[in-house]
Amino acid sequence: MTDDRTVRVALAGGGAFGAKHAAALRRIKGVEVTAVVSSTLDRAQAFAAEHGIGRGVATLDEALAMDDVDAVILATPTPMHAAQTLACLEAGKHVQVEIPLAASLADAEECLIAQQRTGLVAMVGHTRRFNPSHQWVRRRIQAGEFRIQQMDVQTYFFRRTNLNALGQQRSWTDHLLWHHAAHTVDLFAYQTGSPIVQANAIQGPIHPELGIAMDMSIQLKAASGAICTLSLSFNNDGPLGTFFRYIGDTGTYLARYDDLFTGKDEPIDVSGVDVSMDGIELQDREFVAAIREGREPNSSIAQVISCYRTLAALEAQLDAGAGA
């Protein structure tokens, strides 16, 4: 049964992605953002004023104690994701956490256990499941009109200093494997409808200051026989972002976020795929709908946990290689 009551959301994270969610939530009927949490009270209050949010508070604990908060969206630094997801569930709040769910398999599994115990909606922001471009390809697959032979994916940024998407200094370090590879590892299994049965990874030198590999190459194979080749870099001085090439038995498609092209770079109209062309908005709509309908959302923790198990296996492989 659908619950038509207003879903009252607290937003944790007053940065670039917090702003994307604030804009998306304004376009969803029956949703009220009642509070925002940021790194300082001043930043939270400024963000609240800018985005028309009820109030800004200094800590997640304050938001979780509020009676007018049903659910929380976490757009906070990666190292906080797992602990904050657990805190939301323990406080009886539905939660959507931005990708990645965690930076270790143990933390991801703990979140799954908490969700199963509480029965609350707990969803991870694997946005590629919701982008109209990827939805269009998925519908062709489900209709039996397209079968993936290979996905060739490039995830490229120019990030030799520790800055965020707004060019501001980060207090934490982003990660090619646990964050950026998570998008593709999950999408590959999701689109093929087949579990990953083989995964290999190599990485370039560790950056002396950031302490992470700046370049990485990952190979995946699904039980269906499809393969995926993923190249990731923080050294790419060129167009930024992730670009997906679907090579299949009846065509080739290039997905660039919410846009889609043929293998010959001809645009494909995906404007009718869903109610919006914004993948973040579609992700947030699924979260709200799952709460209202009392059901498991697409991209639930249970659905994406296999991705994090694959990432952990790849990390173990890379660690073993580093010690060789």
Give pLDDT tens digits for 243-281: 999 999 999 999 999 999 999 999 999 999 999 999 999
Read off the DSSP letter of residue 142: H
Selection from 128, 133, 159, 152 nearest residue 238 by Cα: 159
Helices (H) and strands (E) in the chain, counts: 9, 14
What is the C-alpha separation between 132 and 138, in angstroms, rounded?
Answer: 10
Specify the pLDDT at position 211.
86
pLDDT at 167: 62
Distance between first and last Cα of the chain: 56
Give me the pLDDT at residue 170, please: 59
Q: Confidence band (pLDDT; 50, 70, 90) for 321? A: confident
Mean pLDDT rounded to a whole number for the chain: 94
pLDDT range class, residue 4, cuts 50, 70, 90: confident
The pLDDT tens digits of the residues spanning 41-55 come to 999 999 999 999 989
- Neighbouring CB atoms inside 10 A of 24's CB total 20
Given this model, what pLDDT does residue 139 score? 98
**Pairwise pLDDT comparison (129 vs 4), residue with the higher score:** 129
Provide DSSP, 56-121: EES-HHHHHT-TT--EEEE-S-GGGHHHHHHHHHHTT-EEEEESPS-SSHHHHHHHHHHHHHH---
pLDDT of residue 168: 64
Structure tokens at 75: 């757009």
Q: What integer is the mean pLDDT of 127-132?
A: 97
Name 165's Cβ contacts closer than 8 Å, sequence gap at least 6: 15, 16, 17
pLDDT in tens, 198-255: 999 999 999 888 888 999 999 999 999 999 999 999 999 998 899 999 999 999 999 9
Give the per-residue pLDDT at 172.
Answer: 56
Residue 273 DSSP SS3: coil
Q: What is the pLDDT of residues 173-190, one digit of tens each?
A: 688 999 999 999 999 999
Average pLDDT over residues 13-35: 96
When pLDDT is averaged across residues 109-124 and rounded to a whole number, the result is 98
Q: What does the pLDDT read at residue 1? A: 46
Long-range (24+ apart) CB contacts under 8 A made by 136-139 are: 136/260, 136/268, 136/270, 136/273, 137/191, 137/246, 137/253, 137/255, 137/260, 138/190, 138/191, 139/273
Whole-number pLDDT of residue 209: 85
At 160, the pLDDT band (50, 70, 90 cuts) reads confident
Residues 6+ apart with CB under 8 A from 272: none
Residues 84, 85, 88, CA angle at the centre, nearest 5°?
85
